[in-house]
Amino acid sequence: MTPPILAVKGLEHRYGTGDRSHQAIASIDFELQATRAMSIVGPSGAGKTTLLRCLTGLVTPTRGVVSFAGEAIRGIPEGVGVVFQDYSRSLFPWLSVIRNVEFPLRGIGLGRAERHRRAQEALSMVGLADAVRKYPWQLSGGMQQRVAIARALVTEPRLLLMDEPFASVDAQTRADLEDLVLTIRADTATSIVVVTHDIDESVYLADTVLVLSGSPSHVMATVAVDLPYPRDQVDTKRLEEYLDIRAKIYDLIHSS
C-alpha cells in the first residue's frame, strides 16, 4: 500500500521551557494523499505557521512525527517545495529573476544549460516568461510572489507547502494567484498544503480543509470540499455547496 505523501502523528510543539514556556500545538494528526490539496485554517494565533514549519522540517516538534512519502522528516527533504508569505524577503534582490529561480538547482549536479532550461520552464508556468532578465525590485508584489512560486516549482516537488502565500497582495492579485495554484496542481499533479487565515481561500483551493482550534491548537474538524473542477472565482463561489462549507468552517472557527 502506497503511504500518504504527508502524515502527521501526535504532533505537539512547545516554545521555551519551565514557567515561561508556551504550548503552541496541543495535538495534531492528519494525512494527505498524493495529488491532493489541503488547506489549514484557524483563528489568529492558532499555531498555523508553527505547524507548517514543522511540516517543512524547519522546526523539530516537541513530540510526534511528520513523515513525507513514508519517511520521517529531518530537515527539509528533497521533493518538498516551500513558498513563504514574505516574498520580498525570500527573493535575492541582487539576482535577476531567472537567477533567483535557478538558485535551488545549484549544487545538485545540473549543468548551467539545464538549470536555465528548468528555470525558464518554471517561469513560463507562472506567466513570467518575459521577465527573466528583470530584478525582483522591478516587479509588482504579485509578480514577485510568482517568482517565489516558480522557484519552489523548479525542483519539481512532489509536495508544495505554502504559508499565507497571498496575504500581502491586493484582492485581484490574490484571486489571480489562487487560480494559478489550481492550474499548477492540474498541470503537475503536485500535492499542496496551503496555510491561510482566509476561509474563502481555504475552501476554493482544497479538497480538504483542516480546521484548527485556538492555541494550543488541535484539529477541530476535517472538512471535505466536494466541489467540481475546474473552479472559477465567480461560479464556484455561487454554489450552494460552497456557501454551506464556508459557513460550517466559519462557525467552527468562531466557536473555538
What are the structural domains of the chain? 6-79+159-254 (3.40.50.300), 91-156 (no CATH)
Give the model confidence (pLDDT) of 163-221 as tens digits: 998 888 889 999 999 999 999 999 998 999 999 999 999 999 999 999 999 889 999 99
Determine contact, residues 180/192, Cβ cutoff 8 Å.
no
Give the model confidence (pLDDT) of 110-132 as tens digits: 888 999 999 999 999 999 999 99
Q: Which residue has the higher pLDDT, 17 or 245?
A: 245
Q: Is the predicted pLDDT of residue 138 greater than 80, yes or no?
A: yes
Output the pLDDT for position 2. Answer: 82
Q: Name 38's bridge partners.
A: 193, 208
CB atoms within 10 A of CB 15: 13
Q: Is the predicted pLDDT of residue 162 greater than 80, yes or no?
A: yes
Q: Which of 25, 34, 31, 86 is nearest to 217 (CA)?
A: 25
Percent of the chain with pLDDT over 70: 100
Q: Is the predicted pLDDT of residue 78 greater than 90, yes or no?
A: no
Quote the CA–CA distance of 233 and 162 in Å, as a whole number: 20
Output the pLDDT for position 47. Answer: 86
Determine contact, residues 141/152, Cβ cutoff 8 Å.
no
Output the pLDDT for position 110. Answer: 82
Determine contact, residues 223/32, Cβ cutoff 8 Å.
no
Output the pLDDT for position 23. Answer: 87
